[in-house]
Structure 1
Amino acid sequence: MILSEKELQHFKLPIAVPGMGVSMQEKLKEARVLVVGAGGLGSPVIQYLSASGVGVIGIADYGVINDEDMPRQPIYQMQDVRKHKAKMAASRLWAVNPYTKHYPILMQVKPETIAMMLVGFDLVIDCSQHRPTHLVVNDACIVHNKPFIIGEVHNWLSWFAGFNMPQLDGGFTASYRCASEQAESYRNFDAGAIGITHGATGIQMACEAIKYIMGIQTGIAGKFYGTDYLHKQTTVLELQADNAAIESVRTAGVLTADEYGLEIVPDVED
């Protein structure tokens, strides 16, 4: 038995859901997920991964909490302003679920750090909403055979998709680079951010991640979910893998920061 008696009591209602049971809760307990970004999108993702009982959650974010971030990052409190997001997120999550290990990682995702950051994790969820970071995650996950999910929210528009996920035929689903056209169609560079659209998207991403961990193949793998919250329209697309492009990434490996257009920030002081 992987779960303690206290955990069985804590998770008794999810365990009671048809199709769940102790075995599925144990799968969640055994899972190790790296979440990149603990901001507007990452906050609901890590909150629900933790509350659902995912065993280990790495929280990679080198930023601090700002007052103007609060409407879309309700995991934090006003007393947390100017403190490190990853550290405060880990503290808040432990207070709700002490059975999950929450590891704050106060460093930037960049070519020099990404391989080390991936070690030991089964799934990566990139909530950075930053294209150069997406590309670093994409290439590193392909090189190191890690499945990953990326999402973005732009005002009323959002998208998320599952990439590099193993298939029953031995192949893998599309990469982020294969879905550039779809991602661009959901970008909206107008100023501002709405908290509720970040929360709604993050919860959907967490739900699909949990289903993937439990072995449900019909959810996130190879699918692109686009939503227009203002007009209440949702689109689901089947992504096609560009095998030549994926193989070229495997051959070239992780590129340099300049090639990704990634600005390197100074290491934070703990």
Structure 2
Amino acid sequence: MLSEKELERYKHPIAVPGMGIGLQETLKTSRVLVIGAGGLGGPVIQYLSAAGTGVIGIADYGVILEEDLHRQPLFNMQDLRKHKAKMAASRLFSFNPWNKHYPILLQVKPDNVEQVISGFDLVIDCSQHRATHLVVSDACLLHNKPFMTGEVHNWMAWWGGFNMPLDSGARSGSYRCSEMQIDEFRNFDAGAMGATHGASALLMVNEVIKYLAGVPGLAGKLHTFDYLHQKFEVSELAADAAGIAAVKARGLLTAEEYGLEIVPDVED
């Protein structure tokens, strides 16, 4: 399945104990959707591509701003005001032409989320936006899609693996199940550090690779990182069976009910 050029390109990760050609081929056949190509999503898609993830969807309706470049090193000064998703896909293709990188220039919302997530094996929401988390989480629950999301606030970061298969045969809880637990790690004071975004993104990608390899550590777990005090913790995510059943019974809500402000469609 891997070409000779791919075997040469990935010879060092293939040599890592527990990896091998089999896992590299698993990465090549994986289809991952990343929502948001900014401070968190940018390095996530960079290292997913570097690892050899076969198909990467990049959903982002925003443009590149100079004030964000400190945490978006995927982009350059000449990219300013261009669409993040398009520039990310172009840059990643030039970096690794053996993968497919698809830009999706739209806001993920109730009207399109089911179509957007269709065809992907794993959905990673890097929008760092609660309303978007809820929309995507509900859609993933309805369509049985594994879902990962996280945020970075100043020195604090968190992420978790939701609606994912567990060893017991059940699935981990949804994002909705854990909102109160997650709120403890949110800090909405002004400011954003580039290094904390990049470090969190790389640790997230490492967990994704382990997840695809069948190594426990992402499904049903909440990872929290206090970079200021170098305090890293992993805790269990709770599942609310009644809440999950309620979402499956009612389906998606309206944008207004999610608290999602709809932006105009992107003019390409």
Q: How does 1:210-225 map to 2 (within 5 A)?
A: 210-216=209-215, 218-225=216-223
Secondary structure at 1:13 match in 2: helix
The amino acid that maps onto 2:247 is: V
Give distance in 1, aligned partners of 2:96 and 2:209: 16
Deviation at 1:169, TM superposition (A): 2.9
Give distance in 2, aligned partners of 1:210 and 1:49: 8
- The aligned counterpart of 1:71 is 70
- The aligned counterpart of 1:8 is 7
Range with greater deviation from structure 2 (226-235 or 133-142): 226-235
Matched, 1:96 2:82: no
Deviation at 1:178, TM superposition (A): 1.2
Deviation at 1:50, TM superposition (A): 0.3
- The aligned counterpart of 1:149 is 148
Secondary structure at 1:7 match in 2: helix
Matched, 1:112 2:111: yes
Deviation at 1:164, TM superposition (A): 0.2
- The aligned counterpart of 1:253 is 251
Give distance in 1, aligned partners of 2:27 and 2:140: 21
Secondary structure at 1:71 match in 2: helix
Give distance in 2, aligned partners of 1:235 and 1:19: 24
Give distance in 2, aligned partners of 1:167 and 1:71: 37
1:97-123 CA distance string (max 9 Å, x none) = 111100000010100010100111000
Give distance in 1, aligned partners of 2:197 and 2:15: 29
- The aligned counterpart of 1:184 is 183
Range with greater deviation from structure 2 (38-47 or 233-242): 233-242
Matched, 1:237 2:235: yes
Give distance in 1, aligned partners of 2:156 and 2:101: 30
Compute the RMSD of aligned alpha carbons.
0.8
Give distance in 1, aligned partners of 2:163 and 2:169: 12
Gaps (5+ residues) in structure 1? none
Give distance in 2, aligned partners of 1:21 and 1:227: 30
Deviation at 1:167, TM superposition (A): 2.0
- The aligned counterpart of 2:265 is 267
- The aligned counterpart of 2:83 is 84
- The aligned counterpart of 2:165 is 166
Give distance in 2, aligned partners of 1:190 and 1:173: 30
Give distance in 1, aligned partners of 2:19 and 2:186: 36
Gaps (5+ residues) in structure 2? none
Contact 2:163 2:171 in 1 (8 A): yes
- The aligned counterpart of 1:208 is 207
- The aligned counterpart of 2:32 is 33
Range with greater deviation from structure 2 (163-172 or 103-112): 163-172
The amino acid that maps onto 2:240 is: D
1:116-165 CA distance string (max 9 Å, x none) = 00111000000000000000011000000000100100001110000000
Secondary structure at 1:160 match in 2: strand
Give distance in 1, aligned partners of 2:153 and 2:108: 22
Secondary structure at 2:92 match in 1: helix
- Percent sequence identity is 65
Number of matched pairs = 268
1:21-76 CA distance string (max 9 Å, x none) = 11110000000000000000001100110000000000000000000000000000
Secondary structure at 1:64 match in 2: coil
Range with greater deviation from structure 2 (134-143 or 166-175): 166-175
